[in-house]
Amino acid sequence: EPEVTQTPSHQVTQMGQEVILRCVPISNHLYFYWYRQILGQKVEFLVSFYNNEISEKSEIFDDQFSVERPDGSNFTLKIRSTKLEDSAMYFCASSERSQGGLNTEAFFGQGTRLTVV
C-alpha cells in the first residue's frame, strides 16, 4: 500500500540552527501539506503546496519557514532559525485533490518529532 514517508523520525537541534524535515509523498498525488502538533495541543495546519507553489499558509508559517519540492519525489520543510517553541511533531501529508472536498483522503506520514534545545 502506498504511504507517505518522513525522515528523520526524531530530530534534536540547538536553538538558532536551521533544520530541514523531509517527506516523500505518494507518487501520483498533487497536493502536499505540512501540519504540526505541539505536545498536548491540536494538530495545526501550516502550509499547502500545489503545482510547485504555496497555495495556502497559516499564521504560524512565517518567514522562518519555507517549503520546497526539490525534485520529483521529495517535499521539504525548512525552519531557518529554530526557536524552543518550534518543538513539535511535524506531519507531512499528500492527497490527489485538495483537502476538504469530495473523496479527498489525505495520507499522512508518521511524523518527525523536532526537539529544539
Partner 1 sequence: GEDVEQSLFLSVREGDSSVINCTYTDSSSTYLYWYKQEPGAGLQLLTYIFSNMDMKQDQRLTVLLNKKDKHLSLRIADTQTGDSAIYFCAESNKAGTALIFGKGTTLSVSS
- Residues forming contacts to partner 1 in the complex (CB under 8 A) are 3-4, 6, 33, 35, 40-45, 48, 55-56, 58, 91, 93, 98-102, 105-111
Count Cβ atoms below 10 Å from residue 26 Cβ, excluding itself: 17
- CA separation (Å) from 112 to 19, 97, 100, 103, 115? 11, 24, 24, 27, 10
Least spacing, CB of residue 102 vs partner 1, in Å: 8
Peptide bond before 70: cis, by omega within 30 degrees of 0? no
Task: Give the cell for residue 29.
Answer: 498525488
Least spacing, CB of residue 42 vs partner 1, in Å: 5
Cα–Cα distance measured from residue 114 to residue 6, given in angstroms and rounded to the nearest whole number: 12
**Nearest CB to partner 1, comparing residues 14 and 103:** 103
**Nearest CB to partner 1, comparing residues 14 and 42:** 42
**Nearest CB to partner 1, comparing residues 13 and 99:** 99
Least spacing, CB of residue 46 vs partner 1, in Å: 9
